[in-house]
């Protein structure tokens, strides 16, 4: 099964963030960058599924030139090649634009003889949290779509199937239990963290990543654009912590607090 | 019209997050372009749910029931919502997995834009959480219909003067194409921790992080959970190490919770974890590091080894019970 995984370069935030001069984006100059957690799991599921069916994994990103780092990181853990759609200012693109750009690439590749059986994305990106690119892409491609999926089991269809054949079983957590879906391919599936552990790159993987084939395109002008007016930071929280004490001696005071709140079972 | 998609649980109650979404719609009616407050319920509509919705001020309940909607299929459910959606106004749901998925389908099918995780609305537009809750994005959705999801626990459900909502039933026509992604079977939750409803609805959550030390280090913490009749919530390090199942993870890529009290044991307070506990009314930290973000952000803290402290807390509770 030939799989396309769409990933996004996001700032790696662990502390306080600040805004840039325009007030419409965060100042990420001093921050490292990474891939969203859901997307790391999507890459892992793609690698496992491709291995089980003798297929390939292509990773794609719409982002700045530096996003090639995230593509190479995916190659280092087992993806075969990458597609960078370079957008100098990714923030100018709305979810409709991103879905459209990816849809165009999928069609373009199909015309060149590379039909993807499955397109995976993360449920939502850790920075924007839009939760709609996968669904918009599926409508654009007229493929069925699932979200919140944590594991995949391929059942039929194999390498070089040329897209459009075979099916896949997908599982995710629903309100009443684990929901199981059976889907005909080609399809779009948005992945939720939790079903698999992303693997670490091996030394040979890292070597391979350096030489990996990354095909580059230039993103078109955003059509619909981003509805963002600006970003705001929450007011700084002033800490008013009451230290109840140190070590087990403070247990008494803590139980008093719990009793006051009324959460101890009688 | 403002139309709210409402979820009910197995006992026929409106779930907490849907009650929040209805309250959000009602309290922001003046800026949401919806002069009436309508809700849509898919599947059975028990009297308990109708009564709850009346107490929340709902004027019309659109009741969508059909054998093809019994098993969940997002496109079919979304089309059912689209069939009753206004041409101008707002369609919204709580930002649960179902709410997010359905609103995205509704947005595409109605040619609308969508904003996820909205926390406020005013004349200047919408404010929504981004970056896992560390920042807010202000935005304006152009178009006649705006489609939103409301961030979990962004507001508290509030009852108002009770209404007697009109219930409208529909004859639905469901396209075969919209059933391609139907759930083929549901494997009911087992003790392996797939049930997150306990965590998101619990009044007391005891959080456990890397500080627990090992897979076998949860004894004291689980006993405390039991004393409080609450739920266990863990950090991503804990699920990443395979100590506990992902369903127990709290945070940006886990559950968002709003308990009366959250007791964070051996959790440092990384932004992605804090994103999940914004709704906690009282935050208590037990940590060896006085400088940790969790201690700094807490209402109360004990500095010390969590095994010793939680062990002593359990003992004290047992003693007071007599
Ligand atoms: C995209 C993305 C998404 C993420 N999503 C989530 C998420 O949903 N949820 C989440 O939790 N994290 C998430 N993370 C991870 C997050 O950044 C942190 O790595 C994680 O929350 C840290 O977990 P921790 O506090 O258990 O561990 P640590 O940060 O290692 O902290 C351990 C704490 O335990 C204390 N401690 C150690 N021993 C003891 C002891 N004996 N007694 C008492 N205290 C002790 C230490 O002082 C320290 O404060 C995400 C990260 C990324 C990049």
Mean pLDDT of B241-258: 89
B255 pLDDT more than 80: yes
Are the CB atoms for A97 and A166 separated by under 8 Å?
Answer: no
Taking an 8 Å cut-off on Cβ atoms, the answer to whether B227 and A264 are in contact is yes
Instruction: Write down the pLDDT at residue B291.
Output: 93
- Nearest chain B Cα to A15, which residue? B271
- Chain B CB contacts of A264 under 8 Å are 227-228, 317
Instruction: Compute chain A's Rg from CA coordinates.
Output: 22
Instruction: Write down the pLDDT at residue A50.
Output: 96
- Residue minimizing CA distance to atom 49 of ligand 1: B268
Bridge pairing between strands A242-246 and B300-303: parallel
A158 pLDDT more than 50: no
A244 pLDDT more than 60: yes
- Residue minimizing CA distance to atom 35 of ligand 1: B266
Q: What atom of ligand 1 comes closest to residue B252's alpha carbon?
A: 8
Bridge pairing between strands B166-169 and B60-64: parallel
Are the CB atoms for B273 and B219 separated by under 8 Å?
Answer: no
pLDDT tens string B74-109: 999 999 999 999 999 999 999 999 999 999 999 999
pLDDT tens string B48-62: 999 999 999 999 999
Q: Tokens 């040979």 map to which residue? A: A204
Q: Which of B115, B124, B234, B309 to mutate to test the interface with A (most CBs of A within 10 A)?
A: B309
Cα B236 to ligand 1 centroid, rounded to whole Å: 6
Q: Which of B114, B134, B253 sits opposite A13 (nearest CB)?
A: B134
Instruction: Write down the pLDDT at residue B188.
Output: 78
Instruction: Write down the pLDDT at residue A160.
Output: 46
Q: Which of B315, B198, B199 lies closest to A254 in space, CA to CA?
A: B315
Instruction: Write down the pLDDT at residue A174.
Output: 86
Tokens encoding B16: 């907490």
B195 pLDDT more than 60: no
Predicted confidence band at B252 (pLDDT cuts at 50, 70, 90)? confident
Q: How far is B296 from chain A (nearest CA, A)?
A: 6
Mean pLDDT of B182-202: 75
Instruction: Write down the pLDDT at residue B320.
Output: 93
Instruction: Write down the pLDDT at residue A165.
Output: 65
Instruction: Write down the pLDDT at residue B279.
Output: 84
Q: Which of B175, B146, B13 lies closest to B78 in space, CA to CA?
A: B175
Sequence length of chain B is 322
- Nearest chain A Cα to B125, which residue? A229
The string of DSSP letters for B200-214 reads HH-SEEEEE-GGG-S
**Who lines ligand 1 at CB under 6 A?**
A 14, 36-37, 126; B 209-211, 235-238, 249-254, 266-268, 270, 272-273, 276, 286-289, 292, 305-306
Instruction: Write down the pLDDT at residue B322.
Output: 81
More confident residue, A176 or B43: B43
- Residue minimizing CA distance to atom 39 of ligand 1: B211
**Is the ipTM, as predicted for this complex, more than 0.95?**
no
Predicted confidence band at A235 (pLDDT cuts at 50, 70, 90)? confident
Mean pLDDT of A209-224: 96
Q: How far is B171 from chain A (nearest CA, A)?
A: 25
Are the CB atoms for A26 and A6 separated by under 8 Å?
Answer: no
Beta-bridge partners for B312: none
Beta-bridge partners for A231: B137
Q: How far is B20 from chain A (nearest CA, A)?
A: 18
B157 pLDDT more than 60: yes
Q: Does A252 touch chain B (CB under 8 A)?
A: yes
Tokens encoding A16: 């306080």
Cα angle A164, A168, A172 (rounded to 5 degrees) comes to: 135
- Nearest chain A Cα to B229, which residue? A265
Cα A192 to ligand 1 centroid, rounded to whole Å: 20
Q: Tokens 């208590």 map to which residue? A: B284
- Chain A CB contacts of B309 under 8 Å are 247-248, 250-251, 254
Q: How far is A262 from chain B (nearest CA, A)?
A: 9
Are the CB atoms for A187 and A168 separated by under 8 Å?
Answer: yes
Whole-model pTM?
Answer: 0.89
Distances A199 to A32, A78, A79 between C-alpha atoms, Å: 20, 9, 12
């Amino acid at each position: 099964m030939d799989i396309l995984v769409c990933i996004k370069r996001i700032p790696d935030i662990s502390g306080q963030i600040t805004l840039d001069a325009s007030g419409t984006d965060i100042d990420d100059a001093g921050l490292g960058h990474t891939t969203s957690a859901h997307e790391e799991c999507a890459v892992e599921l793609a690698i496992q599924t491709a291995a089980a069916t003798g297929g390939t994994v292509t990773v794609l990103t719409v982002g700045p030139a530096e996003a090639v780092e995230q593509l190479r990181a995916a190659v280092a853990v087992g993806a075969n090649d990458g597609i960078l759609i370079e957008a100098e200012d990714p923030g100018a693109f709305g979810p409709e634009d991103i879905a459209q750009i990816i849809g165009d690439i999928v069609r373009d590749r199909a015309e060149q003889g590379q039909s993807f059986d499955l397109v995976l994305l993360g449920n939502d990106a850790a920075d924007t949290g839009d939760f709609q690119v996968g669904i918009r892409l599926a409508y654009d491609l007229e493929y069925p779509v699932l979200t919140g999926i944590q594991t995949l089991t391929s059942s039929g269809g194999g390498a070089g199937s040329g897209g459009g054949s075979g099916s896949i079983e997908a599982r995710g957590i629903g309100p009443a239990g684990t929901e199981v879906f059976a889907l005909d391919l080609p399809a779009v599936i948005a992945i939720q963290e939790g079903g698999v552990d992303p693997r670490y790159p091996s030394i040979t993987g890292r070597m391979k990543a350096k030489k990996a084939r990354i095909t580059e395109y230039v993103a078109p002008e955003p059509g619909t654009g981003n509805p963002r007016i600006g970003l705001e930071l929450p007011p700084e929280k002033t800490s008013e912590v009451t230290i109840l004490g140190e070590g087990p001696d403070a247990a008494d005071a803590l139980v008093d607090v719990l009793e006051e709140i009324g959460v101890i079972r009688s | 019209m403002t139309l709210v998609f409402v979820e009910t649980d197995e006992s026929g109650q409106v779930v907490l997050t849907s009650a929040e979404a209805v309250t959000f719609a009602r309290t922001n009616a003046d800026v949401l372009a919806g002069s009436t407050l309508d809700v849509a319920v898919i599947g059975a509509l028990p009297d308990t749910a109708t009564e709850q919705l009346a107490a929340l001020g709902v004027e019309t309940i659109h009741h969508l029931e059909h054998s093809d909607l019994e098993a969940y299929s997002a496109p079919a459910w979304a089309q059912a919502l689209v069939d009753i959606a206004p041409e101008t106004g707002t369609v919204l749901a709580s930002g649960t997995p179902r709410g997010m998925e359905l609103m995205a389908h509704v947005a595409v099918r109605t040619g609308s834009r969508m904003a996820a995780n909205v926390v406020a609305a005013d004349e200047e537009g919408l404010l929504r959480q981004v970056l896992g809750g560390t920042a807010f994005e202000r935005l304006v959705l152009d178009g006649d219909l705006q489609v939103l999801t409301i961030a979990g626990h962004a507001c508290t459900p509030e009852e108002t003067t009770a209404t007697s909502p009109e219930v409208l039933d529909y004859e639905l026509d469901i396209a075969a194409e919209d059933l391609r992604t139907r759930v083929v079977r549901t494997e009911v939750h087992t003790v392996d921790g797939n049930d997150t409803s306990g965590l998101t609805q619990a009044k007391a959550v005891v959080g456990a992080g890397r500080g627990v030390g090992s897979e076998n280090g949860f004894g004291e913490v689980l006993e405390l959970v039991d004393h409080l009749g609450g739920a266990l919530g863990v950090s991503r390090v804990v699920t990443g190490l395979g100590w506990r199942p992902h369903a127990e993870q709290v945070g940006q890529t886990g559950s968002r919770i709003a308990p009366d009290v959250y007791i964070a044991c051996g959790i440092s307070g990384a932004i992605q974890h804090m994103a999940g506990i914004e709704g906690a009314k009282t935050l208590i930290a037990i940590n060896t590091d006085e400088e940790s973000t969790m201690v700094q952000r807490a209402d109360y803290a004990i500095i010390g080894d969590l095994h010793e402290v939680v062990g002593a807390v359990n003992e004290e509770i047992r003693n007071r019970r007599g």
